[in-house]
Structure 1
Amino acid sequence: MTHADASSTDPSAHPGRPAAADPRRTEGVHPDHADLDRLPLGELLDVLTGDQLGAVQAAQAAAPALARAAAAALPRLQRGGRLLYVGAGTSGRLCVLDATELTPTFSWPPERAVPLIAGGERAIRSAVEGAEDDRAAGERDVQTTRIGPDDVLIGVAASGTTPYVLGALRAARQAGALTVGLSNNPDTPLLREAECGVLLDTGPEIISGSTRLKAGTAQKIALNSFSSALMVQLGKVYGNLMVDLRASNEKLEGRALRLVMHATGAGEADARAALLGASGQVKVAVVALRLGVSAAEATRRLDAAHGHARAALGEA
C-alpha cells in the first residue's frame, strides 16, 4: 500500500468516517518520497530544494497571464492608482513583503502599495485563528482603504478559495478596481472571479499540504515578476539598472554610487558630487552627468519624460 493509500483509509484521521478527497491539487499527497522522514539529511535537502523547481516552472507557465494583468494594471498606475495586496497566512505575508520592498527598491510611495493580511498586522508574525475564513472582514478591510477605479487589487491564495481574499475581491470589483487573482489550484473561485486570473499550478507539496513550500515560492516569483515589470514600465529602471532606489543606509549609498559610475562612466569623485547635487537621486545624477546639465535641469527633463531616464536622455 502506498503512502497516499494509507492516508486515505487511516481511520485515526477521521474517526468513524473515511477521509474525504479534496479536489485542490495543493492539498493532495505527493506521490513521491513517502519515506521523507527516513532520508539522510543531505538527501533530504536535495529532495526539498529539487522540488522547488516546480515553482519556477509554474511561474514561467503563468508569464503570459502575468503579462496580461500587468498590461491592464499599467494605465491605472500611470493615472496615480495604487497596488493593494490581499492574502492570508503565508500568502498574506508574501503580499506584505512585496508591497514593503517596492519603496526602497524603486522609491514607490508607500501609500501606493497597501498590503492587507487576514487578522491584521498581528498575523504577520502569529497565526490568527479563523481570520482567513471571514469573508466580511475582507470586504471591510478593502472598503476602509477607499479603493477606487484606478487601483489594482492583487488577491493571493494557494487554495483559491480563501473567504477573506474572496470578500476583498468582491469589494474591489464593486468599486471598479482592477482585480488580479493568484491561485495554485486550477478552476477556483479566485481565478474565476478576478478579472485577471493567474494560475500557478504547483501541484502537491513534498510535505503534503504545506503550501509555504513550492506554492509559496511560486507566489513570491509571480509577485516579484509582476511588480518589477510594472516598475520597469513606469521608468524606475534604466537599462537593467535600479536607478530609482532609495539610499536609506550605507550599503545602498554605496550601491547608488556604483550605479551612477556604471551608467555614466564617471569617476568616483564626479559621481559622488553628482549624487550630492541630486540629493541622492541616482536617476537625476545619471541624466545630469550624461547631458552635462544641472540637477535642476535633469529633474525638469525627467519630469517631462514622465520619469523615464532613457527618454530624458533622448535615447527612446
Structure 2
Amino acid sequence: MTASGTEARHPASNGLHARPASEVLRILLEAQVTALGALQLALPALERVADAAAASLHAGGKLGYAGAGSSGLMALADCLELAGTFGLAPERTPMMFAGGADALLHLKGSVEDDPALALADLERVQLVAGDTLLCLSASGRTPYVLAIAAAAQDRGVKVAGFANVAGSPLLERADIPVLIETGAEVVAGSTRMGAATAQKVALNMLSVLVAIRLGHVHDGYMVNLVADNLKLVDRAARIVSDVAHVSRDEAETALTHTGGAVKPAILVARGMTPEAAAERLAGTGGHLSPLI
C-alpha cells in the first residue's frame, strides 16, 4: 500500500541525511512555509468555528480542546494562553490531552489508542449541550480524539475537527470540519513539523477571532487581559493610556479604581464612574466600541 498524506515521502527528502546543513535547513524552512499556505483554504471553516466558539462562551458555556501527541501539544499551547491574553477563565476552556500531565514530560504513543481514557477525560471536564469542542489530530484517525468527538456529540456539544488528511474519519464526523492539507513531511510521518505548525497557526488565528467576537480585542489591544505579573501590569497601563487618550498616571489611577480590569478602566479614564462603566459594558456584551 502506498503511503499518503503526512506519511508520504516528501520529494525533497531523498538523500536528506547526506546534504550540507545549510541545505537541510533551507528545505525544512521551505516545507514549513508551504505548510502554512494550506491554511488559505481553511479560512472559511475557521470563521465558522470562531462563530460557534464565541457563541458558546458568550452564553456562559465552554470551549474545550482535545488532542494527543503533537496535535495535542498545539492545542494545549493555545488553551493555556487564553487566560492571560484574553481573560478567559481556565475552567471555561478545558483541555483534554491524551495521557494527562504525565504525558507532557514523557509522551507515550499508547495513550492515543485508549478510548476509555478519552471518555474519562470528557467526563472530567463536563462539556454539555451548547458548548464547543476543538478536536485535533494530524492523521484525523487518532482513537483518543475520535472517541471524545463522538461522545461529545452525543451530549449535544458542537465538534470542530482539525486534521491534515482529506477524507479522514475526524473530518467526516465533525460538525465543522477544518482540513489543513499540509501533505508529506520532510521527515515522513513527523507531524510535529509542517502539520503541527499549521495547526498552531490555525489556533492562533481562531482564538484571536473568538476574542474579537467577545469584545476582548480592541484596535489590536488585549483589553480583557489578566495582569498578573509586572510585564502585564505595565501593558495594562499602556493600553488604558493609548485607548482612552490619557496620561500614564491617569491610566494607572483608573486601573486602581477597577481592580486592574482594563475595559472598565478605559471608560473610567474617560470620565465614567466604575459602577457606570461596569453597567455600560454589560449592556454592550463587553464591547468597548459603542462606548468610546
Using the size of structure 1 for normalisation, the TM-score is 0.89
Report the equivalent of 1:191: 171
Following superposition, the deviation at residue 258 of structure 1 comes to 1.3
Q: Does 2:98 match 1:118?
A: yes
- Matches of 1:73 and 1:106, distance apart in 2: 14
Unaligned runs of 5+ in 1: 1-19
Q: Residue 107 of structure 2 aligns to a residue in which SS?
A: coil
Report the equivalent of 2:284: 305
Q: Residue 52 of structure 1 aligns to a residue in which SS?
A: helix
Following superposition, the deviation at residue 229 of structure 1 comes to 0.8
- Matches of 1:142 and 1:305, distance apart in 2: 33
Q: Residue 221 of structure 1 aligns to a residue in which SS?
A: helix
Report the equivalent of 2:2: 21
- Matches of 1:101 and 1:212, distance apart in 2: 20
Following superposition, the deviation at residue 67 of structure 1 comes to 1.0
Q: Does 2:237 match 1:257?
A: yes
Following superposition, the deviation at residue 264 of structure 1 comes to 1.8
The amino acid across from 1:303 in the alignment is A
Report the equivalent of 1:230: 210
Question: Per-residue CA shift, 1:133-177, capped at 9, x if unaligned?
Answer: 112321232123222112111110000000000000011000000
Report the equivalent of 1:6: none
Paired residues, number: 292
**Mapped contact 1:80–1:150 kept (Cα < 8 A):** no
Report the equivalent of 1:294: 273
Distance 1:187 1:129, change over 3 A: closer
Larger gyration radius, structure 1 or structure 2 = 1
Work out which structure has the larger RCO, using CA pairs closer than 8 Å and 6 or more positions apart in sequence.
2
Following superposition, the deviation at residue 301 of structure 1 comes to 1.1
> Percent identity, aligned pairs only?
39
Equivalent residues in 2 for 1:1-316 (5 A)? 20-23=1-4, 25-290=5-270, 292-313=271-292
Please identify, of 98-107 and 262-271, the stretch whose mean Cα deviation from structure 2 is larger: 262-271
Unaligned runs of 5+ in 2: none
**Mapped contact 2:54–2:211 kept (Cα < 8 A):** no
Please identify, of 73-82 and 188-197, the stretch whose mean Cα deviation from structure 2 is larger: 73-82
When the two chains are superposed, the root-mean-square deviation of aligned CA atoms in Å is 1.4
Please identify, of 141-150 and 57-66, the stretch whose mean Cα deviation from structure 2 is larger: 141-150
Q: Residue 130 of structure 1 aligns to a residue in which SS?
A: helix
Using the size of structure 2 for normalisation, the TM-score is 0.96
